[in-house]
Structure 1
Amino acid sequence: MVEKLWLNQYPKEVLPSYDYPKQNLAQFLLDAAAKYPEHTALYFLGRKISYEELLEETYQFAHALQELGIKKGDRVAIMLPNCPQSVIAYYGSLLIGAIVVQTNPTYMERELNHQLNDAGVKLLIGLDLLFKRISKVVPKTKVEKVIYTSIKDYLPFPKNVLYPLKARKEGNSLHVDYSEHVLSFKSVLHGASKAPIQVEVDAEHDLALLQYTGGTTGLSKGVMLTHYNLVANTIQTRSWSYKSEEAKENYLAALPFFHVFGMTVLMNQSMLLAGTLIMLPKFDADEAVKLISKKRPSTFPGAPTMYIALINHPKIRDYDLSSIEICISGAAPLPGEVQEVFEEITGGKLIEGYGLTEASPVTHANNIWEKRKLGSIGIPFPDTDAKVVDSETGEELELGEVGELIVKGPQIMRGYWNQPVETSKAIRDGWLYTGDMAVMDDEGFFYIMDRKKDLIIAGGFNIYPREVEEVLFDHPTVMDVVVAGIPDPYRGETVKAYVVLKSGAQTTEQELEAFCRERLASFKVPRSYEFRDSLPKTLVGKTLRRLVVEEEKKKLETTSNE
């Protein structure tokens, strides 16, 4: 057993182990409202909501759900962008012991149908803009009632009046056909009791969340996360940012709450610290720099694409971004150059972390104020164990050897919803097999080489796409890149790079190849390059390598059939 070298890297303020309360996840909100009732909990496009107001409306929503027949254990889907309603619906559902199913608002009918049916959702909260799409799917599911809300419901005057005009101008319909099964969020809250309510839960066993995997590796699966899993990961994350103070932190909430990363490091974290969530319904670099300059957030968790967009903003130096103290990057690899430039512009710390839906999600992060390493995902969180093992045998490997990363801790899921076979593959002897290929150095820092499924085997050589991507990111003209293995009659697979250039930049395939040959073994150098305007990504900025590979296969099939 390789010893836990990473504990030597812990700051003195961070303990190797903590006690995690066995409580309802929503208790974080109750505690914050009790201590800081007048403090601003949410800031949404000009509207401020105090902790007292937020808790009152959350209680109302919890009572309304009960009146609509929702009981402990029932699944409630929330299909909303970052807005006050998403926070109210989330904690209101948890307070009565319902299981939240966070649903991506961009899901199309096929994806939505799969998730609602697989989870057995009984009630859905959606946006009026999505009425047509949701209406087509609901009759094919067991959903009994749908509650619709609108962005304008929580906008200040005159934005609430102007919003419908703007929506119509953009060709969006806000029309909803209300009925006994189709209700309005405002009317549901209006008649509901404001009395405190909290159904007792068994935090270690009762589910708080069915969080569906992004589907980047195949069919989306429901990850079962308990109240205890999410409470533990929120406290683990809080321990890492030990300089953060209660009721003093402002969080720029650009990551969507319907993604487990945004849910834990933003929504739950802010409630734990009685912080203020400065919410963006959708990330836009122009809006973000203005908001940072105006509202002065101290913490900005994000995805690499967000930081890339900001450092490439043409007027970035015109804005004061000096309030930013902590940025935690996740969901995709963080290029070293992006980290360095962003820190130089803001004066804050941008660290890379690592996690996965099955771990609530964070398991590793670089130190914020102490030793960290570029290109590393950092070290394991308190109470989190990690090993690099042989994927087939499970045998632990020596330091410096590449193998599959496995993790264990209080944040690890109970399993996949109704999928015992998949659960047994993912969790063995209490260890979660991540499917990511990693290596640990002699100081306990971990490095992700790539997903096991993304490994390129060309001419018998193992090639990790991330390593090639890191090199290409260093080229001065490259803004974004993804590397994938494509079929090759001679090598089995060969390396191809899909490149997005910075605005106004120019380069050639030959220049990029020469650049790579100076920095990579010849078998790792891409054999072909494709210049693109953009790359397919999830809403949290994870590049969908699988889609790129599928597109390439279709192109090859079309060519061979001609």
Structure 2
Amino acid sequence: MFAATVARAPEADAIRYFDGRMTSAQLDEASDALAVALLGHGFSAGDRLVLFTQNNPAYVIGMLAAWKAGGIAVSANPMYKERELGHLLRDSGATAVLCLDELYPVVSALGIRTVITFSGLDGQTRDDPRVFPSPQRLVIPDALDLGDLLNAFAGLEPPPASPAPDDPAFLVYTSGTTGDPKGAVLTHRNFVFNARSYREWMQLEPGDTILGLAPLFHITGLVGHGVLALLLPAPLVLAHRFEPSVMVDAVREHRPVFSVGAITAYAAMAGVPGAGRDDFRSLTKIWSGGAPIAPAVGDQLGEKIGGYIHNAYGLTETSSITHLVPPGRRAPVDPASGALSIGVPIASVRSRIVGEDGKELPPGEVGEVLISGPQVATGYWQRPDATEASFPGGELHTGDVGFMDEAGWFYLVDRKKDMIIASGYKVWPREVEDVLYGHPAVREAAVIGVPDAYRGETVHAFVSLQPGAEVGAEELIAFCKERMAAYKYPRAVFFVDELPKTASGKILRRELR
């Protein structure tokens, strides 16, 4: 796929990183050099290379180099500490790590054979005060330096790797919201299919600049930014990590057309002082994934940004999208639950709703969402029992609860594990959260169930407020009580400055528990 892009558009921008640019041909040459370097340091076909960095050009170089060396890339969250990274390294059996220099202390004690470091400044043409890392590059004697390797092996090409479509391309680890993270095995076929799905369903054209809003180590950023940019081709705008004002500055400078990211990221950008509709006018094709959108939040952000944020849905195990709201359409809102539709299944996806007995349910009935299609992972890395439990017959049991309406639109209710049983009644936190989002003072909300001697469980809410807003717990409880059944409304509301989130923007209810 990438070879065809290089042949077709060698001088097109592949990556824009602050004031630096890298063409497709330069990216091809850099990844060739790194692949040769890896092979020279003992990396071989089937080995795993861990990418332990933020949204830096090195991530894309490393991804391509792993493939060119016949290996498998592995995403690692740069917020991982030694215990978390150690689990990923042991589970994947990785032999090499490409690491942001400031993260080297996390790697150093873990006994990896080959560690290659680089600076967050690499990829620029001059010093730029917008860059997050210290302007001082770190010298790490115990590691190889990426820049030195690219210079030493410049102009060399690795032997042709020619991976088969169903060979593993990536191990992308689940967020670990239930137990240890598991590595979803995603193939080259998975990636090419879903990059094409983005291109066709979101009506993208070559040169439609992509804003790297989501982290590349997360499946949304990996496929919806990185792989998609290589396919189109299109410039991928990277800015090290998400910081709202820096991201708005990147929009002003590079005028991106497309992005997909968590709704919390769009909200943070819209809240940057001085940012207005004119700043976002180039973003004409925008989708939100990673966390559900409350209808009220979508409407509010549409007003601030000046464009409609379409819903999209997918999982790590489906190499990103499986459902989305098509361009030019607005997601319907279910009148009974107030949920905003996640969209319709994309081409070649089979999605159905099943009950506890495994039987398919008719439209309108709530059950688990199941998905099959060419973007579904082959399973979990070296976890046959977990694979059989989650992918029986190759069909993914998502753990998400939802329904389909008569017109074929899908809606999510919640995660199965988050359901609250209060006095024998089922309460879905998502429904309570959507009501809370309807209050003008509420910025973010999360609802959990807590043990209750009388009711079994009772509903508690955690809320962060809009800047300058004031509201009491009793007012919010009364607001919900007026709008939902007696067993659903929260019995307690707690105020926090920020709700805990994953790197992709999902609110972590388990942290609140």
TM range (shorter): over 0.9
Q: Distance in 2 between matches of 1:382 and 1:163?
A: 40
Q: Distance in 1 between matches of 2:234 and 2:23?
A: 11
Aligned residues of 1:311 and 1:338 also touching (Cα < 8 A): no
Q: Distance in 1 between matches of 2:213 and 2:266?
A: 11
Aligned residues of 2:18 and 2:250 also touching (Cα < 8 A): no
Once the two structures are TM-superposed, the CA of residue 192 in structure 1 deviates from its matched residue by 1.1
Instruction: Identify which of 275, 281, 299 aligns with 1:316.
Output: 275
Instruction: Identify which of 208, 213, 226 aligns with 2:187.
Output: 226
The aligned runs of 1:470-509 (5 Å cut-off) are 470-509=434-473
Name the SS for the 1:267 alignment partner.
Answer: helix
The aligned runs of 1:8-47 (5 Å cut-off) are 27=1, 29-47=2-20
Once the two structures are TM-superposed, the CA of residue 153 in structure 1 deviates from its matched residue by 2.1
Q: Distance in 2 between matches of 1:296 and 1:185?
A: 30
Once the two structures are TM-superposed, the CA of residue 470 in structure 1 deviates from its matched residue by 0.6
The aligned runs of 1:322-341 (5 Å cut-off) are 322-341=281-300
Cα deviation, 1:460-486, whole Å, max 9, x if unaligned, reads 000000011011011000000100111
Q: Distance in 2 between matches of 1:288 and 1:341?
A: 20
What residue identity is the alignment partner of 2:411?
A: Y
Match of 2:379 in 1: 415
Aligned residues: 506
Q: Distance in 1 between matches of 2:181 and 2:491?
A: 32
Cα deviation, 1:30-78, whole Å, max 9, x if unaligned, reads 2222111111111101101111111111111111111112111101101
Aligned residues of 1:311 and 1:341 also touching (Cα < 8 A): no
Match of 1:267 in 2: 226
Q: Distance in 1 between matches of 2:305 and 2:272?
A: 13
Residue 286 of structure 1 pairs with residue 245 of structure 2: yes
Residue 177 of structure 1 pairs with residue 148 of structure 2: no
Name the SS for the 1:70 alignment partner.
Answer: coil
Match of 2:308 in 1: 349
Name the SS for the 2:193 alignment partner.
Answer: helix
Match of 1:556 in 2: none
The aligned runs of 1:165-204 (5 Å cut-off) are 167=134, 175-179=138-142, 182-197=143-158, 198-204=160-166
Once the two structures are TM-superposed, the CA of residue 195 in structure 1 deviates from its matched residue by 4.2
Cα deviation, 1:145-167, whole Å, max 9, x if unaligned, reads 1001111222222339x979x72
Residue 144 of structure 1 pairs with residue 108 of structure 2: no
Aligned residues of 2:174 and 2:181 also touching (Cα < 8 A): yes
Q: Distance in 2 between matches of 1:371 and 1:175?
A: 49
Cα RMSD over matched residues? 1.7
Name the SS for the 2:103 alignment partner.
Answer: helix
Aligned residues of 2:5 and 2:24 also touching (Cα < 8 A): yes
Instruction: Identify which of 23, 28, 33 aligns with 1:50.
Output: 23
Match of 1:245 in 2: 205
What is the aligned-residue identity percentage? Answer: 37
Residue 514 of structure 1 pairs with residue 492 of structure 2: no
What residue identity is the alignment partner of 2:486?
A: S
Cα deviation, 1:231-286, whole Å, max 9, x if unaligned, reads 111112222112x211x211110211111110111111111111011112111111
Aligned residues of 2:311 and 2:331 also touching (Cα < 8 A): no
Question: Highest relative contact order (Cα 8 Å, sep 6+), 1 or 2?
Answer: 1
Name the SS for the 1:126 alignment partner.
Answer: strand
The aligned runs of 1:67-466 (5 Å cut-off) are 67-136=40-109, 138-139=110-111, 143-159=112-128, 167=134, 175-179=138-142, 182-197=143-158, 198-204=160-166, 206-242=167-203, 244-246=204-206, 248-317=207-276, 319-370=278-329, 372-374=331-333, 375-391=340-356, 393-466=357-430
Aligned residues of 2:270 and 2:276 also touching (Cα < 8 A): no
What residue identity is the alignment partner of 1:89?
A: G
Once the two structures are TM-superposed, the CA of residue 316 in structure 1 deviates from its matched residue by 2.3
Name the SS for the 2:374 alignment partner.
Answer: coil
Cα deviation, 1:91-112, whole Å, max 9, x if unaligned, reads 1111222011111111011101
Q: Distance in 1 between matches of 2:295 and 2:156?
A: 51
Q: Distance in 2 between matches of 1:174 and 1:544?
A: 34
Name the SS for the 1:327 alignment partner.
Answer: strand
What residue identity is the alignment partner of 2:398?
A: T
Q: Distance in 1 between matches of 2:451 and 2:477?
A: 20
What residue identity is the alignment partner of 1:411?
A: Q
Match of 2:36 in 1: 63
Aligned residues of 1:307 and 1:338 also touching (Cα < 8 A): no
Match of 2:337 in 1: none
Q: Distance in 1 between matches of 2:481 and 2:242?
A: 36
Name the SS for the 1:349 alignment partner.
Answer: coil
Match of 1:537 in 2: 501
Once the two structures are TM-superposed, the CA of residue 430 in structure 1 deviates from its matched residue by 2.4
What residue identity is the alignment partner of 2:126?
A: F
What residue identity is the alignment partner of 1:309?
A: A
Once the two structures are TM-superposed, the CA of residue 315 in structure 1 deviates from its matched residue by 2.1
Cα deviation, 1:450-506, whole Å, max 9, x if unaligned, reads 000000011100000001101101100000010011111111111000000011100
Aligned residues of 1:465 and 1:484 also touching (Cα < 8 A): yes
Name the SS for the 2:177 alignment partner.
Answer: coil
Cα deviation, 1:495-523, whole Å, max 9, x if unaligned, reads 00000001110001111112111211111
Name the SS for the 2:261 alignment partner.
Answer: coil
Name the SS for the 2:388 alignment partner.
Answer: helix
Gaps of 5+ in 2: 334-339
Aligned residues of 1:290 and 1:319 also touching (Cα < 8 A): no
The two structures have a TM-score, normalised by structure 2, of 0.95
What residue identity is the alignment partner of 2:18?
A: L
Aligned residues of 1:73 and 1:97 also touching (Cα < 8 A): yes
Name the SS for the 1:151 alignment partner.
Answer: coil
What residue identity is the alignment partner of 2:371?
A: V
- Shifted more, 273-282 versus 309-318: the winner is 309-318
Match of 1:560 in 2: none
Name the SS for the 2:96 alignment partner.
Answer: strand
Q: Distance in 1 between matches of 2:169 and 2:258?
A: 26
Bigger helix share? 1
Name the SS for the 2:153 alignment partner.
Answer: coil
Aligned residues of 1:131 and 1:176 also touching (Cα < 8 A): no
Aligned residues of 2:184 and 2:379 also touching (Cα < 8 A): yes
Gaps of 5+ in 1: 1-26, 550-562
Q: Distance in 2 between matches of 1:345 and 1:32?
A: 36
What residue identity is the alignment partner of 1:189?
A: L
Q: Distance in 1 between matches of 2:168 and 2:64?
A: 13
Q: Distance in 2 between matches of 1:357 and 1:295?
A: 29
Once the two structures are TM-superposed, the CA of residue 84 in structure 1 deviates from its matched residue by 1.1
Name the SS for the 1:435 alignment partner.
Answer: strand
